[in-house]
């Protein structure tokens, strides 16, 4: 299979795509990167592409169309990262540009893909780090609970599984052997294709635990996993980054007691503080644990704890065998 894919790669050529910003802003757009309304016009679309493609001045992320490959007959393909194959399920424009339609209906990822990638060996660096640090038994339990997979290039796959046990999206992240995240990550299933995100670990939130169990909401998936390993009496979920707690993710939290723990920076804490009134208005009993203790970023940097997350705190308060 790998040999065939390499041959296909040689035969296919990348098509050139010119990206030019549109002079007009779409103020009604929900940004694909931040998941927020574009009322401030900070998200700029590219010309001749679907409205989800552009650059966001708010978070600094570019939402780009997939790379298009063409064969000698003019047939066009995109590369599927997870299934390791070329596919043709996109709609090109008459100019040959990958102009994917706006899709509002949620698509779901076939569950069989999860369990296929669950069994990949050797495991990714993060799982190996967790086994070395917290032991095989607890790590295996966490791996099964969150259906953690390994991509063919060594990344860990965080699946977004909703409260109905449907798989909505995937994020592939890369860690060093010491458990530290690198800057590399992939999101193979795109918003414009109908794959929208939910909270990581949302499948662990259900009505019977309302008022009985606290839902702890962390920034990173890794922190939620380690929280589950050390303190399983709580329900650990993650919102996936500093701007990840978007309006479309919070419906599963309604009626629950929620403790939100952002990473240690002024910006991370400020973003969550601004969201608390909105969450409460929805019927979410939301509180924040400000680990910065109201210190400035300069003070945090002097103490060597700027941008630390909950695992850094765990290391100080827990004795791990």
Nearest to 38 by CA among 49, 54, 50: 54
Q: Among 10-19, 155-164, 251-260, 286-295, which stretch is predicted with the lowest mean pLDDT?
A: 10-19
Q: Number of C-alpha atoms within 13 angstroms, CB side, residue 243?
A: 12
For the cut 50, the answer to whether the pLDDT of residue 292 exceeds it is: yes
Q: For residue range 211-253, list pLDDT tens digits in order.
A: 889 999 999 999 999 999 999 999 999 999 888 898 778 889 9
107 neighbors 193 (Cβ within 8 angstroms): yes
Instruction: Mark residue 315 as left, alpha or beta (left: phi above 0; alpha: psi -120 to 50; beta: remaining).
Output: alpha
For the cut 50, the answer to whether the pLDDT of residue 186 exceeds it is: yes
Nearest to 230 by CA among 320, 299, 168, 298: 320
First to last CA, the chain: 42
Q: What is the pLDDT of residue 193?
A: 85
Give buried/exposed letters for 11-35 (b at 16+ CB in 10 A, else e): ebeebebeeeeeeebeeebbbbbbb
| Omega before 76 within 30 of 0, i.e. cis | no
Q: For residue range 33-51, list pLDDT tens digits in order.
A: 776 778 888 888 888 777 7
How many other C-beta atoms can be found within 10 angstroms of the C-beta atom of residue 95? 8
Distance CA 187, CA 166 (A): 17
Q: What is the pLDDT of residue 30?
A: 78
259 neighbors 272 (Cβ within 8 angstroms): no
When comparing pLDDT for 197 and 64, which is higher?
A: 197
Q: What is the pLDDT of residue 262?
A: 92
Q: What is the pLDDT of residue 256?
A: 95
Q: What is the pLDDT of residue 208?
A: 87
77 neighbors 12 (Cβ within 8 angstroms): yes
286 neighbors 276 (Cβ within 8 angstroms): yes
292 neighbors 300 (Cβ within 8 angstroms): yes
pLDDT confidence bin for 146, thresholds 50/70/90: very high
Q: Among 27-36, 168-177, 263-272, which stretch is predicted with the lowest mean pLDDT?
A: 27-36
Q: What is the pLDDT of residue 134?
A: 94
In sequence order, the β-bridge partners of residue 288 are 260
Task: Record the tokens describing residue 229, joined without a space.
Answer: 């390993």
Mean pLDDT of the chain: 82
Q: For residue range 79-130, list pLDDT tens digits in order.
A: 655 455 666 654 334 343 344 334 346 889 999 999 999 999 999 999 999 9
Q: What is the pLDDT of residue 230?
A: 92
Residue with tokens 């008022």: 211
Share of the chain above pLDDT 70, in %: 81
Domains of the chain: 104-198 (no CATH), 199-321 (3.40.1360)
- What is residue 204's three-state secondary structure? helix
What is the 3 state secondary structure string of 96-152? Answer: CCECCCCCCCCCCECHHHHHHHHCCCCCCHHHHHHHHHHCHHHHHHHHHHHCCEECC
Q: Among 8-12, 136-140, 280-284, 290-294, which stretch is predicted with the lowest mean pLDDT?
A: 8-12
Q: What is the pLDDT of residue 200?
A: 97
Q: What is the pLDDT of residue 103?
A: 39
């Amino acid at each position: 299979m790998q040999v065939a894919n390499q041959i296909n790669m040689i035969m296919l050529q990348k098509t050139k795509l010119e990206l030019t910003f549109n002079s007009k802003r779409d103020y009604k757009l929900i940004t694909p990167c931040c998941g927020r309304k574009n009322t401030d016009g900070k998200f700029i679309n590219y010309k001749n592409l679907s409205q989800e493609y552009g650059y966001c001045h708010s978070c600094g992320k570019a939402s780009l169309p997939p790379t298009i490959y063409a064969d000698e007959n003019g047939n066009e393909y995109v590369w599927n990262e997870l299934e390791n194959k070329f596919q043709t399920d996109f709609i090109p424009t008459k100019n040959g540009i990958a102009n994917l339609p706006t899709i509002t209906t949620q698509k779901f990822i076939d569950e069989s893909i999860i369990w296929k990638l669950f069994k990949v060996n050797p495991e990714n660096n993060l799982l190996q780090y967790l086994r070395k640090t917290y032991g095989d038994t607890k790590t295996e339990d966490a791996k099964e609970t969150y259906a953690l997979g390994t991509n063919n290039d060594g990344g860990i796959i965080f699946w977004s599984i909703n409260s109905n046990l449907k798989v909505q999206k995937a994020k592939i992240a890369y860690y060093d052997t010491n458990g530290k995240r690198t800057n590399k990550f992939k999101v193979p299933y795109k918003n414009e294709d109908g794959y929208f995100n939910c909270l990581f670990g949302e499948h662990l939130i259900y009505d019977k635990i309302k008022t009985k169990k606290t839902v702890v909401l962390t920034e990173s998936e890794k922190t939620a996993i380690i929280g589950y390993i050390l303190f399983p009496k709580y329900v650990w979920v993650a919102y996936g980054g500093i701007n990840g707690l978007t309006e479309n993710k919070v419906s599963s939290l309604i009626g629950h007691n929620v403790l939100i723990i952002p990473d240690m920076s002024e910006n991370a804490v400020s973003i969550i503080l601004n969201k608390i009134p909105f969450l409460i208005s929805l019927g979410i009993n939301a509180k924040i644990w400000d680990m910065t203790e109201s210190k400035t970023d300069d003070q945090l940097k002097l103490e060597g704890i700027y941008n630390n997350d909950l695992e850094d705190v765990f290391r100080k308060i827990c004795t791990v065998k």
